[in-house]
A and B are shown apart, each in its own frame.
Chain A
Amino acid sequence: MAKAKTTKRPDAAGGNRPFIYNRYAPRQLREALAKMQRIRRFEECAEESYMRGHIHGTMHLSIGQEASAVGICMPLNAGDQLTSTHRGHGHCLAKGAEIARMFAEFFGREDGYCKGRGGSMHIADVANGNLGANGIVAGGLPIAVGAALAIKKLKKPNVVVCFFGDGANNEGAFHESLNMASIWKLPVVFVCENNGYGMSMSAARSTAVENVADRAAAYAMPGVIVDGNDLSAVAEASQIACDRARAGDGPTLIENKTYRWRGHSKSDRNRYRTKEEIEAWVAKDPIIRFQDEMKSQGIVDDAAIAEIRAAVEQEIEAGLEFAKASPPPRIEDLTRFVYTDPIP
């Protein structure tokens, strides 16, 4: 495989309409917009609760990267799985998680997806196929490959999406995982969300190649560079990769070029990047872009957008109420869940 390719935007069959408008019904497109809004508002509210001291620990926000999470998950079916990262709220919601149970987790409560034991950095939704965020950079890559191996051995029709950041592509686990997925032709889609930085280190400083997708060549799989703020382009790349995986042709490496608006985590003073750079990317808001595109395609108008937003606000409010009312774990249950059969 030669150099990584950039996906061609306009769909040949559908004239100049981007991919998703040919592939999905208006109802599905409105749902995709609702998901992006849900992620944005969920994270803004989580951030606020954190600032007010209602949520402890740390959190990593994916604000500005919503098109990547939602677009990648559009071709996924109920039985498909994903592995996520420390910046995983968007992946979780995109795969169908409930806001209420996510908040409950952040508040450390029993109704949380991890029963208050994991928090933001380990958010998961196993019933919906989300095998979990990960506190270890690149920790999810071999796990995704293993889940894909299980799918192959069990002859299931499913795929595993493996999200990771640009920073993860310099861990040994990245290279070992891509190689194994390729030699065994496993149904896995590697998705690098390249937001320009691993904490303070720019991808340009940390990584010897220009594009993470260029590394696909070393593992004989397609490497695809995508405008990660363009929902349609992301969904299209994901569709092609999922089709290939389901057909038994093996893995793909997708690189979504995007940007995180917020600092890495709570302790970030943004000393490694300029205000101008941040502002330039904020101007490329993936949600506004998708909204405008849908408007010009005649799929939504301002009233419909307002309706979607209002529904999201309601969901958030109800979710926060639910989380606050949920009981905390009992201290006696400190060692519960360590083993399947408790050791006395």
Chain B
Amino acid sequence: MNQDIRALSYAEALREAMAIAMEADERVFLMGEDIGVYGGAFQVTGDLIERFGADRVMDTPISELGGAGVAVGAALGGMRPIYEFQFSDFAMLAMEQIANQAAKMRFMLGGAVSVPVVMRFPAGSGTGAAAQHSQSIEAWFAHIPGLKVIQPATPHDVKGMLLAAVADPDPVMIFEHKLLYKMKGPVPAGHYTVPIGEAEIRCAGRDVTIVATSIMVHRSLAAAAELERENISAEVIDLRTIRPIDRQTVIESVKKTSRLICVYEGVKTMGIGAEISAMVVESEAFDFLDAPILRLGGAETPIPYNPDLERAAVPQTPAIVEAARRLVTAKA
């Protein structure tokens, strides 16, 4: 692996990954709305059209069902498309092609085909874009056998996981939190992959396990730093992939700390936290639990426009600190 490490933003890391994938493989191309001269709604594709041309950085009309379906068809036909949704909320217009077609094609045809399509979804709240542009719907996708669903939280991971996704023979859905795009972090130059399906322990600890996804990894790390000052040692696990989930890393951690908090931005009910909790109580880690499992998720509401309500609608660092404190001091 190339040892040259630079500080890149999440968006730059993604762009670099797509460029590397396109340079390495003629079959890789990009589709999406305003990804050409506009550079993408969040400037992720940026100048790629200048480097690869309009045939490989294809602007589509505003036609999500058709666009995503064409990407699925192109993948079936031997290409390696990367389809960008402008906002994850618009995936709902394309759900038919994603859930009924891409996810099931290989199975329905008895393994005769595979669908190596990658779809990218800018997700999450915090930008004041209100109820139809701020959702975290990744759990919907994680409910569908046939899809792989990832939520990289750092520039390093998003590059490596995008490259892993392009190489993957099955459909991979990447949920990218919009507030991460400008976040910088160390990114190695050249080609490398971060495997889909492996969680990462971001900070080791003894007293409580915090399993977090996407932006919540950063809020959980901030919470862990604060808890450290109170002599509470939190272990933060960045789940990275929500389908398939890395059960072993979570279960081993809970066996060590005996306490579990799940933190995610999607609506709390029927969400990722329910799955992680059930997974843990169904496992041998159940016997190690010293306290109830806590879930911190999005409030039971669409995302409001008013900025104070918007902040209150999803977990913030103080709530994570408070939850950990409560769990650790409740019972010994």
Q: Do A and B come from one complex?
A: yes
Q: Known A121-B133, A200-B37, A334-B312; judge A170-B63 contact (CB<8 A).
A: yes
Q: Which residue of B lies closest to A173 (CB)?
A: B93
Are A267 and B62 in contact, with the CB atoms below 8 A?
no
Residues from 157 to 203 in A contacting B, C-beta threshold 8 Å: 167-168, 170-172, 198-201
Binary CB contact string for chain A from 248 to 286 against chain B (1 if under 8 A, 0 otherwise):
000000000000000000011101100000000000000
Q: Known A172-B65, A331-B312; judge A119-B305 contact (CB<8 A).
A: yes
How distant is the Cα of A201 from the Cα of B34 in the complex, in angstroms?
7
Are A58 and B132 in contact, with the CB atoms below 8 A?
no
Q: Known A171-B63, A201-B33, A201-B59; judge A335-B299 contact (CB<8 A).
A: yes
* B183 proximity list for chain A (CB < 8 A): none
Q: Which residue of B lies closest to A114 (CB)?
A: B305
* A142 proximity list for chain B (CB < 8 A): none
Q: B128 within 8 Å of A by Cβ?
A: yes
Q: B53 within 8 Å of A by Cβ?
A: no
Are B61 and A116 in contact, with the CB atoms below 8 A?
no
Are A200 and B131 in contact, with the CB atoms below 8 A?
no
* B169 proximity list for chain A (CB < 8 A): none
- Max chain A C-beta neighbours (<10 A), residue from B39, B65, B130: B130
Q: Which residue of B lies closest to A267 (CB)?
A: B41
Are B308 and A331 in contact, with the CB atoms below 8 A?
yes
Looking at chain A's contact residues, the main secondary structure is: loop
How distant is the Cα of A170 from the Cα of B66 in the complex, in angstroms?
9
How distant is the Cα of A199 from the Cα of B59 in the complex, in angstroms?
11
Are B61 and A207 in contact, with the CB atoms below 8 A?
yes
* A116 proximity list for chain B (CB < 8 A): 304-306, 309
Are B37 and A271 in contact, with the CB atoms below 8 A?
yes
* A205 proximity list for chain B (CB < 8 A): 59
Interface size classification for chain A: 35 or more
Are B312 and A172 in contact, with the CB atoms below 8 A?
no
Are A198 and B62 in contact, with the CB atoms below 8 A?
yes
How distant is the Cα of A168 from the Cα of B90 in the complex, in angstroms?
13
Are A57 and B305 in contact, with the CB atoms below 8 A?
yes
How distant is the Cα of A56 from the Cα of B306 in the complex, in angstroms?
9
Are A206 and B299 in contact, with the CB atoms below 8 A?
no
Looking at chain B's contact residues, the main secondary structure is: loop
Q: B318 within 8 Å of A by Cβ?
A: no
Q: B38 within 8 Å of A by Cβ?
A: yes
Are A206 and B128 in contact, with the CB atoms below 8 A?
no
Residues from 37 to 81 in B contacting A, C-beta threshold 8 Å: 37-39, 41, 43, 59, 61-66
* B38 proximity list for chain A (CB < 8 A): 199-200, 268-269, 271-272
How distant is the Cα of A58 from the Cα of B87 in the complex, in angstroms?
14
* B14 proximity list for chain A (CB < 8 A): none
How distant is the Cα of A229 from the Cα of B36 in the complex, in angstroms?
30
Residues from 290 to 322 in B contacting A, C-beta threshold 8 Å: 299-302, 304-309, 312-313
Are B90 and A136 in contact, with the CB atoms below 8 A?
yes
Interface size classification for chain B: 35 or more
Are A118 and B305 in contact, with the CB atoms below 8 A?
yes
Binary CB contact string for chain A from 269 to 313 against chain B (1 if under 8 A, 0 otherwise):
101100000000000000000000000000000000000000000
* A167 proximity list for chain B (CB < 8 A): 61-62
Q: A152 within 8 Å of B by Cβ?
A: no
Minimum C-beta distance from A272 to chain B (A): 5
Subset of 28 A-B contacts with CB under 8 Å: A56-B307, A57-B305, A108-B307, A108-B309, A114-B305, A116-B306, A117-B131, A117-B305, A118-B305, A119-B128, A121-B132, A122-B305, A135-B132, A136-B90, A138-B62, A170-B63, A170-B66, A171-B65, A199-B33, A199-B62, A200-B34, A200-B36, A201-B59, A201-B62, A271-B38, A272-B37, A331-B308, A334-B299
Using a CB–CB cutoff of 8 Å, the interface residues on chain B facing chain A are: 33-34, 36-39, 41, 43, 59, 61-66, 89-90, 93, 127-133, 299-302, 304-309, 312-313
Using a CB–CB cutoff of 8 Å, the interface residues on chain A facing chain B are: 56-58, 108-109, 114, 116-119, 121-122, 134-139, 167-168, 170-172, 198-201, 205-207, 267-269, 271-272, 328-329, 331, 333-335, 338, 343
A-B contacts besides A198-B62, A201-B62, A271-B39, 19 pairs, CB < 8 Å: A58-B127, A108-B306, A108-B309, A118-B130, A118-B131, A119-B130, A135-B89, A135-B130, A136-B90, A139-B132, A167-B61, A167-B62, A171-B65, A199-B38, A200-B59, A271-B37, A334-B299, A335-B300, A338-B300
